[in-house]
C-alpha cells in the first residue's frame, strides 16, 4: 500500500468543514480591513528564499525542500508566504510611492522539520502583507486584525507577545551586546549556536536545544529594548499606545526574536494555551528593508502568518465544528423506475439551490428513511408505483413527522419556498 509521506496529512470530512470555516473567517475579516487575496505558485527559484529569509536561518540552512528541475535549475517549495508576495508585487510593478497595498494569502507551505503534534512538513498558513507605510498605527492595526480574526474564528484566550528589534542601528547595537554576552559561554553552546554566535547571533535566542534554551532564558541576557535608538523607541511606544487604544491586550517579551532575518522594529507572536509544546499560532512583524533588498523601492511593510493546523487544533478544544450542510430533501425510491425519476428530480432541485440526498441503488424504504434521518434531511419525497399511478408524490416533513400526497410541482414549490 502506498501511504502519505511522513509529515504530510490528509484532511478528511468532517474536518474539512472546520478548515472551510477558518478559511471563510479569514476572507470575511481580512476583507473588512481592505485586504485582497493573492495566490502565488507553491514553488519558486531557490534564491528568492535564500536572499529574503536569510542564509543563516534554520529554514534556509536545513528545512527547505530544494531540488533541481529537469533543466538543472534549483527550485524550492515555498517555506513561507512573504517572499512570494514581495516577488509578485515587484514582478507586476505594484509598488508605487504613497500607495498602500494590502494582500492576504492562504495555502500550503513546506519545511523539512521533525514531525510532531502541530508540526508537519506540509502545513498551511494564512497570512497578510501590508505595504506602503512606516506608521506604527499600521503595526497595531495588523496585530489587532490578527486577534480579531482568531476570535471571529472561535479561538479565545490568545496571548499576544510583543517586542521590537528596532532599526538597523539598534539591531547592530543589540547584536554587539548579545555577542559580548554569548562569547564567554561559547564552549557550553550547541554546535549550531557556536556557528550562530559568529555568523548571526540573534538566532541563538530561538535555539530549541534545552541547554541553550536554559542559557538564553537567564534574566541577565541582554534585551532588545535596551539598545533602541531614539527613533526606534518612539516607533515602539507608538505601537503600544495604539494597541492600548484598540484595547488589544499584549505582553512584552524583550527576548522574542523570529526565525526569519528580514524583520525590523515590531515583532509579535500569538500563542494559545491548548496547543502544548507547539503553542505559537502565528507571528509576524515589520520588515521595512525587504522590498528594497529584493530590488524594489524603499517600502514600509508589516504582516503576519498563522498556522492553520494549529488554529484547527485550538478550535477543536473550544468550538463545535460546523456541520457540513445537511440535505434539504432526501429522495426515497420504492422501485427502479422511481430511482431513475429521482436522478432527474434531484438535478432539478439542485438547480433550484436545494441540497439533495439521493441514491443510485435500490434499497429498502426503511434503510432509505434511516439514511435521510441520519443525514438530517428536513424533507423526504417518496415515489413508487402507487404514487406514479396517481401522478402524485408523497412529501414528508421530517421535523413534524407529517406527510401528505401532492403533485410534484406542489412539492417543488413547497420546498423552494420553505428553503429560500
Ligand atoms: P513562521 O512562518 O515560522 O513565523 O510560522 C508562523 C506560524 O506557522 C507558526 O506560528 C505555526 O503556527 C505555523 N507553522 C510554522 N511551521 C510549521 C510546521 N512545520 N507545521 C505546522 N505549522 C507550522
Q: In this predicted model, what pLDDT tens digit does every residue of 167-217 receive, in sequence order?
A: 989 988 999 999 999 999 999 999 999 998 988 898 898 888 899 988 888
Report which DSSP code applies to 321. P
* CATH 3.40.50.800 residue window(s) in the chain: 329-418
Whole-angstrom distance, CA of residue 137 vs CA of residue 133: 9
Greater confidence (31 vs 276) lies with 31
Mean pLDDT of 64-71: 97
Is residue 354 helix, strand or coil?
coil
- Can you read off the three cell numbers belonging to residue 345? 428530480
**Distance from the alpha carbon of residue 281 to the mean position of ligand 1, in angstroms:** 7
* Distance of CA 113 from the midpoint of ligand 1 (Å): 11
420 or 13, greater pLDDT: 13
What pLDDT, on the 0 to 100 scale, is given for residue 420?
A: 43
How many whole angstroms from 307 Cα to the centroid of ligand 1? 5
What residue owns the CA closest to ligand 1's atom 20?
Answer: 119
Nearest ligand 1 atom to alpha carbon 80: 2
143 CA distance to ligand 1 middle (Å)? 17
CA-angle at 110, arms to 49 and 108, nearest 5°: 110
Of the pLDDT bands very low, low, confident and very high (cuts 50, 70, 90), residue 324 is low
Q: Whose Cα sits closest to atom 15 in ligand 1?
A: 307
User: CATH fold of 329-418, please?
Assistant: Rossmann fold (3.40.50)
**Is pLDDT above 50 for 416?**
yes
Mean pLDDT across the stretch 308-335? 83
Q: Is it the case that residue 319 has pLDDT exceeding 90?
A: no
User: Which atom of ligand 1 is nearest to 115's Cα?
Assistant: 19
Which contacts of 382-385 are long-range, i.e. CB under 8 A and separated by 24 or more positions?
382/332, 382/334, 383/331, 383/332, 383/333, 383/334, 383/338, 383/341, 383/342, 384/333, 384/334, 384/335, 384/338, 385/334, 385/335, 385/337
Q: Which fold has domain 15-167+229-318?
A: BirA Bifunctional Protein; domain 2 (3.30.930)
Mean pLDDT of 4-13: 96
Q: Where are the CATH 3.30.930.10 domain residues in the chain?
A: 15-167+229-318
- Is the pLDDT at 74 greater than 50? The verdict is yes
**pLDDT > 80? residue 339:** yes
User: Which atom of ligand 1 is closest in space to residue 119's alpha carbon?
Assistant: 20
The Cβ of residue 273 has, within 10 Å, a number of other Cβ atoms equal to 12
Pocket, ligand 1, Cβ cutoff 6 A: 80, 111, 113, 118-120, 123, 125, 258-259, 280-283, 305, 307, 309-310
- Which residue's CA is minimally distant from atom 14 of ligand 1? 307
- Strand 356-357 to 393-397 pairing: unpaired
Average pLDDT over residues 242-260: 92
Ligand 1: distance of its center to the CA of 112 in Å?
A: 12
CA–CA separation, 242 and 172 (whole Å): 27
Write the residue with the smallest CA distance to atom 17 of ligand 1. Answer: 119
Cα-to-centroid distance, 306 and ligand 1 (Å): 7
Strands 74-77 and 43-45, by their bridges, are antiparallel
| pLDDT above 70: percentage of residues in the chain | 97
Q: Name residue 267's beta-bridge partners.
A: 163, 285
Cell of 239: 505601537
Pairing of strands 301-307, 329-333: unpaired
Instruction: Say what the pLDDT of residue 217 is.
Output: 86
> Average pLDDT for residues 113-119, to the nearest whole number?
93
Q: What is the mean pLDDT of the chain?
A: 93
Q: What is the mean pLDDT of residues 268-297?
A: 92
- 178 CA to centre of ligand 1 in angstroms: 26
Candidate from 123, 284, 315 with most ligand 1 atoms within 8 A of CB, to mutate:
123
pTM: 0.90
Residue of the CA atom closest to atom 5 of ligand 1: 282
Amino acid at each position: 500500500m502506498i501511504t502519505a509521506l511522513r509529515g504530510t496529512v490528509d484532511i478528511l470530512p468532517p474536518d474539512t468543514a472546520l478548515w472551510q470555516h477558518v478559511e471563510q473567517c479569514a476572507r470575511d475579516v481580512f476583507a473588512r480591513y481592505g485586504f485582497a487575496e493573492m495566490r502565488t505558485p507553491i514553488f519558486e527559484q531557490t534564491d528568492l528564499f535564500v536572499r529574503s529569509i536569510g542564509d543563516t536561518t534554520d529554514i534556509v540552512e536545513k528545512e527547505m525542500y530544494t531540488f533541481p528541475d529537469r533543466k538543472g535549475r534549483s527550485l524550492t517549495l515555498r517555506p513561507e508566504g512573504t517572499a512570494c508576495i514581495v516577488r509578485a508585487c515587484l514582478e507586476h510593478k505594484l509598488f508605487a510611492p504613497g500607495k498602500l497595498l494590502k494582500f492576504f494569502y492562504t495555502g500550503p507551505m513546506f519545511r523539512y522539520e521533525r514531525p510532531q503534534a502541530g508540526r508537519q512538513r506540509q502545513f498551511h498558513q494564512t497570512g497578510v502583507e501590508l505595504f506602503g507605510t512606516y506608521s506604527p498605527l499600521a503595526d497595531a492595526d495588523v496585530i489587532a486584525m490578527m486577534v480579531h480574526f482568531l476570535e471571529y474564528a472561535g479561538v479565545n484566550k490568545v496571548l499576544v507577545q510583543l517586542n521590537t528589534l528596532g532599526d538597523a542601528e539598534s539591531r547592530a547595537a543589540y547584536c554587539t551586546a548579545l555577542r559580548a554576552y554569548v562569547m564567554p559561554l561559547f564552549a557550553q553552546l550547541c554546535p549550531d549556536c557556536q556557528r550562530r554566535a559568529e555568523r548571526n547571533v540573534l538566532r541563538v535566542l530561538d535555539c530549541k536545544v534545552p541547554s541553550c534554551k536554559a542559557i538564553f532564558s537567564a534574566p541577565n541576557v541582554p534585551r532588545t529594548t535596551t539598545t533602541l535608538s531614539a527613533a526606534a523607541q518612539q516607533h515602539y511606544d507608538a505601537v503600544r499606545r495604539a494597541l492600548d487604544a484598540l484595547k488589544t491586550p499584549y505582553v512584552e517579551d524583550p527576548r522574542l526574536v523570529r526565525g526569519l532575518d528580514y524583520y525590523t522594529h515590531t515583532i509579535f507572536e500569538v500563542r494559545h494555551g491548548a496547543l502544548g509544546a507547539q503553542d505559537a499560532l502565528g507571528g509576524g512583524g515589520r520588515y521595512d528593508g525587504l522590498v528594497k533588498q529584493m530590488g524594489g523601492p524603499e517600502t514600509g511593510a508589516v504582516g503576519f502568518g498563522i498556522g492553520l493546523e494549529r488554529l484547527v487544533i485550538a478550535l477543536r478544544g473550544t468550538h463545535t465544528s460546523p456541520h457540513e450542510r445537511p440535505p434539504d430533501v432526501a429522495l426515497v425510491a420504492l422501485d427502479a423506475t422511481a430511482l431513475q425519476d429521482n436522478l432527474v428530480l434531484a438535478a432539478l432541485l439542485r438547480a433550484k439551490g436545494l441540497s439533495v440526498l439521493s441514491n443510485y441503488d435500490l434499497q429498502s424504504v426503511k434503510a432509505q428513511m434511516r439514511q435521510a434521518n441520519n443525514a438530517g434531511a428536513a424533507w423526504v419525497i417518496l415515489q413508487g408505483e402507487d404514487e406514479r399511478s396517481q401522478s402524485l408524490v408523497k412529501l414528508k416533513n421530517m421535523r413534524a413527522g407529517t406527510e401528505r400526497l401532492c403533485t410534484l410541482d406542489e412539492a417543488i414549490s413547497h420546498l423552494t419556498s420553505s428553503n429560500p
